[in-house]
Amino acid sequence: MSVPSQSQPLLPPSSAPSAKPKKRYLTPARIAMLAFVLAAVVVMFLEGRARWQFSATCRAIDRAIEADDSGGEALYRTDLDRLLHGSPIRKAAAYSESFTWRGVFRSYRMKLRYDRRGSVDGIDTAE
């Protein structure tokens, strides 16, 4: 039985110094997973943006209505453009106007009611 000398350690063939390192590459499974994660991030971003724009607009209009109720200046239909966040889809009627922010899976809706002078009388949301 021979005893290995200390000058030559036993190495497996795969870890021999002359072996080239493995080349890493993207497999179809990795590409599919990356595409799925990227799509999920985009969907989450679009949904979050629609929700944030809806919420910010509701808060701004609520503050303006509260200021009107406490003796401040009335909020008129012509003043709404400065309070809107994002670009909702607008549908106007004689004494109301509806706004819709669309996400990928969900739409956020708000309806404003006006009095005869054109000032905001009330706000209705689907939530």
Q: Which of these, 89, 76, 80, lies nearest to 60 by C-alpha position?
A: 80
The 10s digit of each residue's pLDDT in 64-100 is 888 877 877 888 888 888 999 999 999 999 899 999 9
Q: What is the DSSP letter of 103?
A: -
Asked if 119 contacts 88 with a C-beta cutoff of 8 angstroms, the reply is: no
pLDDT in tens, 28-51: 889 999 999 999 999 999 999 999
Q: Delimit the domains of the chain by residue range.
A: 28-125
Question: Three-class SS of residue 69?
Answer: helix
Of 56, 71, 59, nearest in space to 101 by CA: 56
Global pTM reads 0.72
CA dihedral over 84, 90, 94, 96, signed as positive or negative: negative
